[in-house]
Every structure is written in C-alpha cells, then in structure tokens.
C-alpha cells in the first residue's frame, strides 16, 4: 500500500479485514515514517522501493486525487502493476465493473452496470447507482450518493454526503462540496457547493 496517512489507515483496515497474508507493508515517501508501524502495518520503505522488496502489485492509499494520480503514473511508468481493495462489507454488483487500483470501503454500494475506473476511491457508505461511469483517479467521499446514469470525470472529488441527480455529468478535476445536491452538469475544473449546488469557482 502506498501512503501511510489517514486514508492509508482505512485502506489498511480493509486489506487486513480481507485477510491478505501476502501484504508486504506500506510504502511512503516521508522518510520519518519508514520503519514505523501504522494501523498494524509496517512502513517498509519509500514509494520507489517496491521493486527491491519484490512487490508485485500496489494499491494507492492517498486521499488527494492529484497526488494519487501522480504517484500511480510514476510507479506504473517504472513497471509496477496495481491491485484493488474491496471491503468484504461493501456491496459490489456482479454486473458492475471495477478497474485495478480502486479502493471500495465498508458499507459502499456499487450497483449493477456501474463502471468504476482505475485508482478511484469509493469511500465509506457511498452509493454508486446503476449505469454510473466513474473516471480514473476520482474520489467519492463517505456518504455521497450518485443516482443512476451519472458520469464522473477523471479526478473529480465529491465531498461528504453530496448527492447527484440522475444522468448528470460531473466534470474532470471538479470539486463538489460536502452536502451539495447537484442538479445540473458541473463543468471541468469547477467547484460547486450548496443546495442546489452553485458554482464557487
Ligand atoms: C474520510 C474523509 O475525510 S474524506 C474527505 C471529505 N472531505 C470533504 O468532504 C470536504 C469537502 N470540501 C468542501 O465542502 C469545501 O468547503 C469546498 C471544497 C466546497 C470549498 O472549499 P474552499 O474553496 O476552501 O472554500 P471556503 O471554505 O473558502 O468557502 C467559500 C464559501 O463557500 C461556503 N462553503 C464552503 N463549503 C461549503 C459547502 N460544503 N456547502 C455550502 N457552502 C460551502 C463557505 O461558507 C464560504 O462562504 P462565504 O464566502 O459566504 O463565507
């Protein structure tokens, strides 16, 4: 697992709950963390140390979408492969698809025919309804709810408890504030908040 911060603790909890006995440990570029045990998992080295530890697959436990994308691009360019972590108490339809590198936390629901891209976070208790398409590097924060046929662009961040009405598109690298109800498409790079959601920037 790459990233031994707050989100890393939750991903660690998911991986330990899955009982993965082949977990090598955390990798983190913060030198002061190396050697420490965080959430029951040892930090075994900096991010680029994956190859020297014989690690075959990585999952990125970095909450910030830009930082997570950059980290994934760096290691995959060097030949690393990604894996996913789906909490055993998440509900993911057999008819949904989830790409590598994605973490789905406890209590989340991914419904039929949803398509979840790579390196995405579907956080605790979030709901991704039928036929949604989630772009790579997006983060759906705890308690958010996407109605059917919603499209989430690359790197978009949906804050805690936000709601998106059916069929809308949330633009790439946009931000939806905590508690927002999105009633219209959100342009790429925009920040929206409130009920109904209005543009802040
Ligand atoms: C496990 C985890 O913890 S996952 C992490 C989950 N994190 C979140 O959900 C955080 C989501 N972030 C937010 O909601 C943020 O407040 C943002 C992104 C919408 C705005 O952040 P900033 O750009 O820093 O805006 P800032 O705090 O300066 O507020 C700007 C204005 O918007 C208002 N505002 C901020 N957030 C919201 C919101 N969620 N809903 C309604 N209004 C809001 C502020 O009150 C302020 O209004 P004012 O100008 O009248 O005083």
Is 130 a catalytic site residue?
yes
Q: Is 117 in the pocket of ligand 1 (CB under 6 A)?
A: no
37 Cα distance to chain centroid: 23
CA distance 115 to 110: 9
Which ipTM score applies to this complex?
0.98
What's the pLDDT tens digit per position in 32-76? 999 999 999 999 999 999 999 999 899 999 999 999 999 999 999
Ligand 1 center to residue 166 CA distance, Å?
23
Q: Is 160 in the pocket of ligand 1 (CB under 6 A)?
A: yes
Fold of 6-83: Rossmann fold (3.40.50)
Q: pTM of this prediction?
A: 0.97
Ligand 1 center to residue 13 CA distance, Å?
28
Residue spans of the domains in the chain: they are 6-83, 84-194
Hey, whose CA ends up nearest to atom 47 of ligand 1?
200
What's the pLDDT tens digit per position in 58-69? 999 999 999 999
Q: Is 159 in the pocket of ligand 1 (CB under 6 A)?
A: yes
Ligand 1, from 14, 159, 179, 196: best to mutate by most atoms within 8 Å of Cβ? 159
**Strand 103-104 with 121-122, pairing:** parallel
Write down the pLDDT at residue 61.
96
Write down the pLDDT at residue 113.
98
CA distance 80 to 148: 34
Kindly give the number of the ligand 1 atom that is closest to the alpha carbon of 201: 23
**Residue whose C-alpha is closest to residue 60's, from 111, 127, 133, 136:** 136
Write down the pLDDT at residue 160.
98
Q: Is 191 in the pocket of ligand 1 (CB under 6 A)?
A: yes
**Strand 37-38 with 41-45, pairing:** antiparallel
What's the pLDDT tens digit per position in 94-150? 999 999 999 999 999 999 999 999 999 999 999 999 999 999 999 999 999 999 999
Fold of 84-194: UDP N-Acetylglucosamine Acyltransferase; domain 1 (2.160.10)
Ligand 1 center to residue 36 CA distance, Å?
33
């Amino acid at each position: 697992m790459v990233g031994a911060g707050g989100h890393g603790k939750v991903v660690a909890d998911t991986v330990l709950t899955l009982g993965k006995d082949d977990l090598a440990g955390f990798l983190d570029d913060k030198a002061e963390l190396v050697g420490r045990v965080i959430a029951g998992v040892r930090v075994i080295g900096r991010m680029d140390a994956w190859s020297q530890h014989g690690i075959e697959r990585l999952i990125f436990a970095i909450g910030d979408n830009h930082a997570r994308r950059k980290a994934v691009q760096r290691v995959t360019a060097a030949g690393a492969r990604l894996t996913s972590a789906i909490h055993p108490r998440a509900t993911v339809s057999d008819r949904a698809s989830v790409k590598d590198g994605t973490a789905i936390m406890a209590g989340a629901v991914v419904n039929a025919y949803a398509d979840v891209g790579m390196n995405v976070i579907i956080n605790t208790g979030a709901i991704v309804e039928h036929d949604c398409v989630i772009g790579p590097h997006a983060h759906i924060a705890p308690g958010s709810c996407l109605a059917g046929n919603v499209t989430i662009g690359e790197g978009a961040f949906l804050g805690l408890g936000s709601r998106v009405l059916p069929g809308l598109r949330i633009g790439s690298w946009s931000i939806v504030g905590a508690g927002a109800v999105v009633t219209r498409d959100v342009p790429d790079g925009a920040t929206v908040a409130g009920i109904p959601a209005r543009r802040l920037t």
